[in-house]
A and B are shown apart, each in its own frame.
Chain A
Amino acid sequence: MPAVTETIETVQSVTEGGYKWGFTTDIETEFAPKGLNEDIIRFISRKKEEPEWLLEWRLKAFAIWQKMEEPRWAAVRYPPINYQDAYYYAAPKTKAKPKSLDEVDPELLRTYEKLGIPLREQAILAGVEGAGEVPAEGRAPVAVDAVFDSVSVATTFKERLEKEGIIFCSISEAVQKHPELVRQYLGSVVPQGDNFFAALNSAVFTDGSFVYIPKGVRCPMELSTYFRINAKSTGQFERTLIIADAGSYVSYLEGCTAPMRDEHQLHAAVVELIALEDATIKYSTVQNWYPGDAEGRGGIYNFVTKRGLCRGARSKISWTQVETGSAITWKYPSCILQGDESVGEFYSVAITNNRQQADTGTKMFHIGRNTRSTIVSKGISAGRGQNTYRGLVRISPKAHGARNFTQCDSLLIGNECGAHTVPYIENRCLTAKVEHEATTSRIAEDQLFYCRQRGLSEEEAVGLIVNGFCREVLKELPMEFAVEAQKLLAISLEGSVG
């Protein structure tokens, strides 16, 4: 995300306080009535002009959801969520669906510019006529799908990607234009009834991104989606579906922010990845939802289901996540390693400061022979933050030669925070090898003093030490994202020392 590196400076000057993305866009918004019932689902489906099968699919999910109980096994505490007291559909009012960026509400474009995602500039770079195809100096082009509350407002670089046969659009558009692909794969990795939040998402998902990379194509640029919750009392339920056909490669980035509000807002997303034979999907997230204030007022409840299926032999799915935001993070990006010799990776940094709670980790299901997985988790707790790594490595009897390596490191800042590691290992195969390492450490006084003696302020020192602690994960991020993530880590920990 090219301009993201400038986000911090830009927005820093605009807002006060720790969270620099907390502004609200004043835009006329169309809401569905509050609450959740079949009528609301029909409303959403009608708004999106969906085919009958999808409405049926949603209603089935809703029926399942109604019979389910909210999971309580995670190490997070929050008051009961009133699912009837939220809007499930909020969209910026527009005359008609914009056909090009020129028709997109300038207020929306300004919002993304403020966030460091200049859709317009990138569109110019995309150069419909080809004149502007040369990327700005030192910056790789990134195609962006911008999701604002319940709808995708713009997707850039579409034409250039189409030349390669790549489909990159909002999932609503994919439902219209590529129904066969959506129908084939939607819910194939995360079925409607998978879990409480996935069922909820399946019933009410409003938008998200859709990616299809054809056989043998290496996607020429990073694809990214930028999620923004703006409207009050609104949940965001996005659905992302990425399919990498045989021998293809794609790197996909996801970023998210929300205004500062004193109420909690629900974000329940589902991401499904499918990698066919010899295909690679690299999925990176920098999650920076509003974390709430120092006393735990407000902030996003982030209940997300992300799962990838390595369906073909030698396929690979790699998750990298930097989780700095949200009041509560409940998220376990997982890999089903079905194809022989397929590879799953999970690299995670999760920060909890003030009253933030995170229960995050991964699941690696080894099914195929000689499948390999790597898990590197770095948890940082500061203030009164509570950080739990929860992971499952399951090796099925036929996964001969499977290997897993897990490393969980926790860093504590201050003496009111907590770090917890809950690894589950289920190995049913004698020829498999599973390794688990875990450490817990503190930022030592001598490290801080050493840095300060060299001229760093205490906060710069903490930022540097934390970034060092997270290095193995940050180096997995695409470079431009890594720079943003580093700054974000430092900002998230502001006020955590002294």
Chain B
Amino acid sequence: MSIMLQIEGLRAAVEGREILRGIDLTVPKGEVHAIMGPNGSGKSTLAYVLAGREGYEVTAGRVTFEGQDLLAMEPEQRAAAGVFLAFQYPVELPGVGNANFLRTALNAQRRARGEPELDAMQFLKEARARMKLLGMPEEMLKRGVNVGFSGGEKKRNEVLQMALLSPRLAILDETDSGLDIDALKIVADGVNALRGPEFSALVITHYQRLLNHIVPDRVHVLVGGRIIRSGGPELALELEQRGYGQVAA
């Protein structure tokens, strides 16, 4: 079994306040792990620390991504290495066309990996194919990045980006929040389409609902900045029925 992501003794603070208090987690290649936990347990902090956001200070521990020291890398280097974060609140970029943004991002990553860049035609072909699979209207390519998008459209746009960038490790930060069942299925289809021996995912969620559609290999319960329990998919059901308080106890 080869390892995609290994987190050891990770501690992190935001504005001097410790949020992650020693996390150990191993995600083998080809596996999808769910991280569940109540509000304020550190789920989003974990996602941001893995993606390298400024202001999230790692105070102890190490993170290895496919054998590389992830914490030593700039956010864009992590992206090029194959780490993708689907944001809980996707950011608006006024005036920046979605297609232009996607192509710029894709080519930046390809350049960093020493791969040839895609021209506009090659990119459009690729994008259209992915969008068809995701059942997304082509018109979304023409709009500004997330500008005027509904909550559901923003999330679908994150999934489109993920599909195009084909990461090796996808981190979904509460991508299911605020989604109706149709949008939820699109998100799930997007992740499931990427599943394979060279792809892993960390699905961060508050609810069990998403896990009906993305069936995880492992479920971890994050409470108070620590993983307090780990188990198979059935753990998610148990959480749903008994609540975090009971499971934590």
- The A449-488 residues at the B interface (CB cut-off 8 A) are 449-458, 460, 464-465, 467-472
Contact A471 B95 (CB under 8 A): yes
When A455-B112, A455-B165 are in contact, do A450 and B91 touch as well, CB less than 8 Å? yes
Contact with B along A416-456 (1 / 0, CB 8 A): 00000000000000000000000000001111011111111
Provided the pairs A445-B54, A464-B104 are in contact, do residues A455 and B95 lie with their beta carbons within 8 angstroms?
A: no
Known: A449-B75, A464-B101. A454 touches B94 (CB 8 A): no
Q: How far is the CA of A454 from the CA of B170 in the complex (A)?
A: 12
Closest Cβ neighbor of B81 among chain A residues: A455
Question: Once bound together, how far apart are the Cα atoms of A312 and B109, in whole Å?
Answer: 54
Contacts of B44-91 to chain A: CB distance below 8 A: 51-55, 74-76, 78-80, 84-85, 87, 90-91
Query: Is B54 within 8 A of A470, CB to CB?
Result: no
Contact B95 A457 (CB under 8 A): no
Q: Which of B79, B90, B92 contacts A455 (CB 8 A)?
A: B79
Residue B93 at the chain A interface, CB threshold 8 Å: yes
Q: Cβ of B211 < 8 Å from any Cβ of A? A: no
Is B9 at the interface (CB under 8 A from chain A)?
A: no
Distance, CA A460 to CA B107, complexed state (A): 12
* B3: interface (CB < 8 Å): no
Q: Which of B55, B78, B87 contacts A450 (CB 8 A)?
A: B87
| Assembled-state Cα–Cα distance A32/B101 (Å) | 52
Docked complex: A255-305 residues within 8 A CB-CB of B: none
Judge if B200 is at the interface, Cβ distance under 8 Å: no
| Contact among B91, B100, B161 with A447 in the assembled complex (CB-CB below 8 Å) | B91
Known: A454-B165, A455-B108, A460-B104. A468 touches B79 (CB 8 A): no
A454/B105 in contact, CB under 8 A: yes
Q: CB-nearest residue of chain A relative to B89?
A: A446
A464 to B100, CA, bound (A): 9
Among A445, A453, A465, contact of B85 (Cβ-Cβ < 8 Å): A453
Q: A445-B54, A449-B53, A468-B144 given as contacts; is B91 within 8 A of A457 (CB)?
A: no
Name A458's closest neighbour in chain B (CB-CB). Answer: B76
B74 and A468 contact, CB distance less than 8 A? no
CB <8 Å contact, B95 and A470: yes
- Residue among B55, B101, B106 with max Cβ neighbours from chain A (10 Å): B101
In the complex, what's the smallest C-beta–C-beta distance from B146 to chain A, in angstroms? 9
Q: Which residue of B lies closest to A460 (CB)?
A: B108
Given A457-B108, A464-B104, A450 and B80 touching (CB < 8 A)? Answer: no
Q: Interface centre among A454, A456, A469, by most B CB within 10 Å?
A: A454
Q: In the bound complex, what is the Cα–Cα distance between A464 and B108 (angstroms)? A: 12
Q: Out of B78, B93, B161, name the residue touching A468 (CB < 8 Å).
A: B93
Q: Closest B-chain residue to A473, C-beta based?
A: B95
Cβ–Cβ contact A465 & B93, under 8 A: yes
Interface residues on chain B, number (Cβ under 8 Å): 33
Q: Does B96 contact A (CB under 8 A)?
A: yes
Question: A445, A447, A455 — which one has the most chain B CB atoms within 10 A of its CB?
Answer: A455
**A468 engages B94 (CB within 8 Å):** yes
A446 to B54, CA, bound (A): 10
A467–B92 alpha-carbon span in the complex (Å): 14
Of the candidates A445, A447, A452, A468, the one whose C-beta lies within 8 Å of that of B76 is A452
Q: How far is the CA of A468 from the CA of B147 in the complex (A)?
A: 11
Q: Is the CB of B51 within 8 A of A453?
A: yes
Contact indicator B108/A456 (Cβ below 8 Å): yes
Query: Can you list, as one digit per residue, whether each of B92-124 has a CB less than 8 Å from chain A (1) or not (0)?
Result: 111110001100111011001000000000000
A452 to B51: give the CA distance in the assembly, Å.
9
Cβ contacts under 8 Å, A471 to chain B: 95-96
Cα-based distance from A233 to B100 in the complex (angstroms): 43
Interchain CA distance A110-B3 in the complex, whole Å = 57
Q: Collect the chain B residues with CB atoms within 8 Å of residue A456's CB.
A: 76, 104-105, 108
Contacts of A457 in B (CB 8 A): 76, 108
Which of A446, A464, A469, A470 has the most B CB atoms < 10 Å from its CB? A464
Alpha-carbon distance A150/B103, docked complex (angstroms): 44
Instruction: For B146, give the chain A residue with the smallest CB separation.
Output: A450
The CA-CA distance from A248 to B112 in the complex, in Å, is 50
Q: Report Cα–Cα, A456/B74, bound state, in Å.
A: 11
Question: Known: A460-B108, A468-B95. Contact between A453 and B79, CB under 8 A?
Answer: yes
Can you name the residue of chain B whose Cβ is closest to the Cβ of A445? B54
Nearest Cβ in chain A — how far from B112, in angstroms? 7
In the complex, A63→B84 CA distance in Å?
69
Residues from chain A with a CB closer than 8 A to the CB of B104 are 456, 460, 464
Q: Is the CB of A450 within 8 A of B79?
A: no
Q: A452-B76, A455-B108, A470-B95 are in contact. List 18 more A-B contacts (CB 8 A).
A: A449-B51, A450-B91, A454-B79, A454-B101, A454-B165, A455-B76, A455-B80, A455-B106, A455-B165, A457-B108, A460-B104, A464-B93, A464-B96, A464-B101, A468-B93, A468-B95, A469-B95, A471-B96
16 interchain pairs, CB-CB under 8 A:
A449-B91, A451-B93, A451-B101, A452-B52, A453-B84, A453-B85, A454-B79, A454-B105, A454-B161, A455-B80, A456-B76, A467-B95, A468-B93, A468-B94, A468-B144, A471-B95
Residues of B within 8 A of A (CB): 51-55, 74-76, 78-80, 84-85, 87, 90-96, 100-101, 104-106, 108-109, 112, 144-145, 161, 165
Closest 9 CB pairs of A and B: A468-B95, A468-B96, A471-B95, A454-B105, A455-B109, A455-B79, A450-B91, A452-B75, A455-B108
